[in-house]
Amino acid sequence: MKKKVAFYTLGCKLNFSETSTIARSFADEGFDRVDFSEKADMYVINTCSVTDNADKKFKTIVKKAQKINPDAFVAAVGCYAQLKPEELADVDGVDLVLGATEKFKITDYINDLTKNDHGKVHSCEIADADFYVGSYAIGDRTRAFLKVQDGCDYKCTYCTIPLARGISRSDTLNNVLKNAADISAQGIKEIVLTGVNIGDYGKGEFGNKKHEHTFLDLVEALDEVEGIHRLRISSIEPNLLKNETIEFVAQSKTFVPHFHIPLQSGSDSLLKLMKRRYMTNLYQERVSKIREVMPNCCIGVDVIVGFPGETEEHFLETYHFLNDLDISYLHVFTYSERDNTPAATMDGVVPIKVRNKRSKMLRGLSVKKRRSFYESQLGNELTVLFESENKAGYINGFTENYVKVKTPWNPELVNSLHKVKLKEIDKDGLVRFDFSKETIEV
């Protein structure tokens, strides 16, 4: 009988791409992959360190695995496993904890899957995480997350990612192009580029700081890969999103008009405290440039509320800056203290109640921004890539500029591209459409 393994991923798209790579190593060892809700001989949990919730959720997931199979071997890998390995090893039911470099060699650390009395830890010094492991994940048959870069050399005062993932390093351009071609050959229509700091692409491409390629070189080369219908940039720092890249995306064959650009605060004094590498005027310039060359582009923004020292004035500065900015939606993060970060010991701690109230206000602003963006797209003819899930009798899809649409379920639409004309916003906030006469089903 083949052994069965199941995976659970917390956190970002990058984690999902790495889980897929780890899962393929189990397949090479003769394991069958099953859903996490099914009985397995081993459960692997890929952890995240970005928010408090991800930390707390870990224990719940371990309990869930033990409930399905109390005898199963449980392994924790990923960012939180690198930062606090002993803490995870102490969780009842955990047998193995692997850090940043060890996670890709997980099958080397397992023998007969006999449970341990206490979690065994194998975790490197983060300075040793200096090599690159390429990976990609195929999500719902319609899109894949392609990792192009890992680690970060920035020193943002709230962030643990450099401690969890090490220095900035990149995949070779040839390997990225090979992975993109492999994904395309599997009938996947959309590739999302992921990494910790993808605008830094090129650094560490040859295991040192030598730069041969830049992020612009990467997007120009990917645009030439045969068989890819859509390429999407996941998240890119405003100081690394150059005008040349924006102009290239505007006339690209496959890159879609959608940028996700972290802001974190609309107050320059807080940006300095956060040790971000730009001020609000540069951020505003990037948004203006995108709007100039791609008027229908979708622009998403990350913002943190409740950072130490954030007064009511600072928060309102952020709120008004975002309200006046021509953006499409927000990802709002409520600040949570992370050990071993400078921000954790800063003065001016914002009470949790105040953090939550400010978070709620910005989430409300995000709803308003998304609605306004969707309304601006009504009447436009766009291309939809349909997803694979039947959601209460409907199939959803996304336009190239990230408008989420719905139509009655039809399995023949799954993973196909169609020209549509956006018609109206439904009561659930999704957009209804008419199919255009011109169809590009592929």
Residue 381: its pLDDT value, please?
96
3-state helix vs strand vs coil in the chain, percent to 5: 35, 25, 40
Q: Please name every residue paired with 398 in a beta bridge, in sequence order, or none if there are none.
A: 385, 404
Whose CA is closest to 29, among 107, 137, 115, 123?
Answer: 107
Whether 64 and 91 have beta carbons less than 8 Å apart is answered as: no
CB count within 10 Å of CB 214 equals 18
Pairing of strands 120-122, 96-98: parallel
Q: Give the C-alpha separation, 125 to 92, whole Å.
A: 25
Whose CA is closest to 300, among 239, 198, 369?
Answer: 369
Residue 126: its pLDDT value, please?
62
Q: Is 110 exposed, middle or buried (0-12, 13-18, 19+ CB in 10 A)?
A: buried
Q: What is the DSSP letter of 430?
A: P
Residue 166: its pLDDT value, please?
87
End-to-end CA distance of the chain: 40
Residue 161: its pLDDT value, please?
87
Residue 102: its pLDDT value, please?
87
Whether 151 and 185 have beta carbons less than 8 Å apart is answered as: no
Q: Give the C-alpha separation, 215 to 179, whole Å.
A: 17
Q: Give the C-alpha separation, 290 to 369, whole Å.
A: 17
Whose CA is closest to 137, among 19, 8, 10?
Answer: 19
Q: Which residue has the tokens 């030598």?
A: 210
Q: Pull the structure tokens for residue 342.
A: 């400078």
Virtual torsion, Cα 208, 148, 252, 300, nearest 10 deg: -110
Sequence-ordered list of residues with C-beta below 8 angstroms from that of 136, at least 6 positions apart, any chain: 17, 20, 21, 144, 145, 146, 147, 179, 182, 183
Whether 193 and 245 have beta carbons less than 8 Å apart is answered as: no
Q: Give the C-alpha separation, 366 to 419, whole Å.
A: 27
What length does the chain have? 442
Sequence-ordered list of residues with C-beta below 8 angstroms from that of 327, at least 6 positions apart, any chain: 287, 299, 300, 301, 369
Whose CA is closest to 416, among 391, 392, 435?
Answer: 435
Q: Give the C-alpha separation, 99 to 82, whole Å.
A: 4
Would you give per-residue pLDDT tens digits along the chain (442 residues)?
789 999 999 887 888 888 988 998 998 899 999 999 999 999 999 998 766 676 678 999 999 999 999 999 999 998 888 888 898 999 999 999 998 888 988 988 887 788 888 888 987 666 666 666 777 877 656 889 999 999 999 999 999 888 888 889 999 999 999 999 999 998 899 999 999 999 999 987 776 666 689 999 999 999 999 888 999 998 999 999 999 999 999 999 999 999 999 999 999 999 999 999 999 999 999 999 999 999 999 999 999 999 999 999 999 999 999 999 999 999 999 999 998 999 999 999 999 999 999 999 999 999 999 999 999 999 999 999 999 889 999 999 999 999 999 999 999 999 999 999 999 999 999 999 999 876 655 5
